[in-house]
Amino acid sequence: MSDVYVAAARLLDRLVIELASSRAGEPAVATLHTGASVPDYGCCIDGDLEGLAVVRIGPVSPSKSWPRPLNEQVRQSDAVEYSVLLEMIVTRCYSTPEDNGLPTMGVLDSSVRDAQDDAAAMRRAARYTFKEAIPGPWAPRGPMGGLHGGTMTVTTLVHLDCGPDVIPPPIDEVVMPLDGDPRF
């Protein structure tokens, strides 16, 4: 399934490029994630950079007629492709007053502008990363706990079917693990 990882990594790389030109700028942390959801890790700050960009790998479904998932028996001679749902998540810091009261109108408006500019960056990333893609809706996150942002899904096509006699290379030979990988 290294092709799924590669597709997700390509989307993350493009998302970071698009966010770099947004009003809130490049995020402090950009990573791939697995699981049913991504926890709110807090407000990520690294020098002048602020925020977190994530691409979460969602369901991977076989398909003979993309984007519809396969719901029939597959013969060895059938050409099968895979539909992959990827979720982009951008989280930014949300400024709240010391008394937990209403932020100033300027802060509120700035947060809306940041979120909408990040949403536009997500749409561009989805559009320009893949030849075959179905962008999903953008949805807001927060504000809660000093964070706000949004999520957007994109479904793309990945060709994984190599046939029964082909053994795909291990993922670590296709994409080198990051420093700190406990398995490498």
Q: Is 42 contained in some domain? A: yes
> Hey, what are 143's tokens?
């504000």
Say what the pLDDT of residue 8 is. 95
The pLDDT tens digits for 117-130 are 999 999 999 999 99
Mean pLDDT over residues 136-141, rounded?
A: 95
Domain count, the chain: 1
The whole-angstrom separation of Cα 125 and Cα 117 is: 12
Structural domain that includes position 152: 2-67+80-162
What is the pLDDT averaged over residues 17-28? 95
**Percent of the chain scored above 70 by pLDDT?**
95
Average pLDDT over residues 121-147: 92
- Domain assignment of residue 171, yes or no: no
Domain annotation covers residue 182 = no
Given a contact cutoff of 8 angstroms between Cβ atoms, the answer to whether 23 and 117 are in contact is: yes
What's the pLDDT score for residue 161? 57
Residue 52 within any structural domain of the chain: yes
- Reported as a pLDDT band with limits 50, 70 and 90, residue 164 is low
Q: Mean pLDDT over residues 87-102, rounded?
A: 87
Residue 106 lies in a domain: yes
CA-to-CA separations, 93 to 27, 50, 107, 114, 153, in angstroms, rounded: 11, 7, 11, 10, 22
Please check whether residue 173 lies inside any domain of the structure: no
39, part of any domain = yes
Q: How far is it, in rounded angstroms, from Cα 148 to Cα 80?
A: 39
Q: Residue 88 sits in a domain of what CATH number? A: 3.30.2000
Average pLDDT over residues 49-74: 86
Average pLDDT taken over every residue of the chain = 87
Q: Is residue 167 one of the residues assigned to a domain?
A: no
